[in-house]
Structure 1
Amino acid sequence: MDSGLVDAETVAHALERQTRTQPHRLIGQLLVDSEVLTASQLAALLADWLGVPTVDLRGIAPEPEALRRLPRSVALRETLLPLTVHGDALVVAMPNPWDKPLLDELRFICELRIQPAIALPGTLAPSVARAYALTNLQAVAAAAPARPSRRPPRPSRCATCTSSRPSCPPARTTRRPPPPRWSPSRTTRWCG
């Protein structure tokens, strides 16, 4: 209400509607559903109220060092985008910066403090896919040899029979008979 986007009457109406909805819905989501606020406005209001920075990822390119700190599998699984490393902290754009277990997991994996930031709705998933796709392509290009490898030359003669043909069919081997199958004989005694 302090921002001027929502008045007291609208909030009171949403609170009353919230008590009647099953299953329970968050008041912010009810305001977005009733088109009083957009998802971007709600994210910005919540971030401002809780002191978490909001980032628009459409114009931000993450630093390569930050991308190296957070494994691709974790970033794709949790929809996270590491943006930059500031001293002993990694700034990470995430959909829910209040997810304490996830923040603890990230701190353990990256061995850095985690500074969460809220990404504007609709910008996080495409940015994560784009950033890690680029780093994957760069890794493949770095691992590739500078020039194409050459195949070893084919022998002009067969190594087995020294004929002039490039290769001969493999030599035939005699097939060994299979081992005899076990069958009980008359001398076999069963305990019992």
Structure 2
Amino acid sequence: MARKRFGEILVEAGAVKENVLQQALGQQKGSGKRLGAVLEEMGVISEQDIAVVLSRQFGIKQVREFAKYAFPKELLQLVDGEKALKALIFPLKKDERSLYLAMVNPLDMATLDDLSFRTGMRIIPCVTTPSEIQSAVNKHYFSAEESTGEKTDWWTILVVDDQEIVRSAVAAALKKKGFNLLEAANGAEGLKTSFRQPPHLVITDTVMPRMDGYEMFRALQANPKTARIPVIALSSRAAAEEEARLLDLGYFDFVAKPINPIRLVARVSRALRIVYGDSVPSEAG
């Protein structure tokens, strides 16, 4: 018998009505968002409600507040941090040949099959919420201060965006983790700041007045003093084609707007580790 779809389960459980589901599916199309996220934005159902429905429907254990516990390194290594954040999964416990996995969507057979194939283990799903996953991933994979003892105040990051609200959101997320922040309102200001006080990483919008992110990026790449600085692009165009285009241009990474603070911090930490390693940086240039 064919496995039921996520939306069908919610309707069958009485969590949403059929007409509301169809409306949500229409909004989801082409957005790249999870159906659950769309329903939450519509105010129809909360992420906790969804977890409860799935837990009861499949008789799967629901897990909460697991971020506060300690997890051995060998367990965390079974799932890549970026994969965990993207697929909304987290390894909870290894028991002989079984792996207990917290996940938002227990119907995600592609993820379950892939992980089972790579680890050679039987995957036992446990239902949770996106917030629980993001909290655990942030703490145990990407929080340098909490998980590895590393300091983040070594690093200076330049945020370039013509919208003050975006700069403030990015700066707040990074300052919370101890990073030093520089800000610029357009590419021209960002370029001057980079030449005067080279940051270790630049986060920039692609479309801005005076000088856009593309022009600034090309100028940074052309100058030996700043050519090595990794640049993460911000764009409101979340399509895969836009991401591929920016990566082809040479940007180190891409983050879609609106900004997810946990994802942003994860991408920044990853970029710094890859480019600079674990040593204390003296300067970016």
Could you tell me the TM-score, scaled by structure 2's length?
0.37
Q: Which residue of 1 aligns with 2:59?
A: 51
1:23 aligns with 2:32: no
Q: What percentage of aligned pairs have identical amino acids?
A: 24
Whether the 8 Å CA contact 1:81–1:93 is kept in 2: the answer is: yes
Q: Which runs of 5+ in 1 are unaligned?
A: 1-6, 141-192
1:76 CA displacement = 3.5
1:105 CA displacement = 0.8
Whether the 8 Å CA contact 1:70–1:110 is kept in 2: the answer is: no
1:108 CA displacement = 1.8
The change in CA–CA distance for 1:126 and 1:114 in structure 2 (over 3 A counts) is same
Q: Letter of the 2:109 partner, please give it.
A: K
Q: Letter of the 2:125 partner, please give it.
A: P
Q: CA RMSD in A?
A: 3.7
3-state secondary structure, aligned to 2:134: helix
Select 2:91's aligned residue among 61, 82, 86.
82
The change in CA–CA distance for 1:131 and 1:21 in structure 2 (over 3 A counts) is closer
Q: Letter of the 1:126 partner, please give it.
A: S
Select 1:129's aligned residue among 135, 138, 143.
138
3-state secondary structure, aligned to 2:111: helix
Q: Letter of the 2:139 partner, please give it.
A: R
Cα separation, 2, equivalents of 1:21 and 1:38 = 14
1:101-116, aligned counterparts within 5 Å? 101-116=110-125
Q: Which runs of 5+ in 2 are unaligned?
A: 1-12, 29-33, 151-285
Cα separation, 1, equivalents of 2:119 and 2:35 = 34
3-state secondary structure, aligned to 2:106: coil
Cα separation, 1, equivalents of 2:39 and 2:95 = 36
Whether the 8 Å CA contact 2:36–2:50 is kept in 1: the answer is: yes
Q: Which residue of 2 aligns with 1:93?
A: 102
Which digits, 9 at most, give the CA deviation of each residue in 1:67-99, with x for residues without a partner? 132233432442321111112111111221211
* More helix as a share of residues: 2
1:68 aligns with 2:71: no
Which digits, 9 at most, give the CA deviation of each residue in 1:55-77, with x for residues without a partner? 11356425213213223343244
Aligned residue pairs: how many? 131
* More strand as a share of residues: 2
Q: Quick check: which has more Rg, 1 or 2?
A: 1
More RCO (CA 8 Å, sep 6+): 1
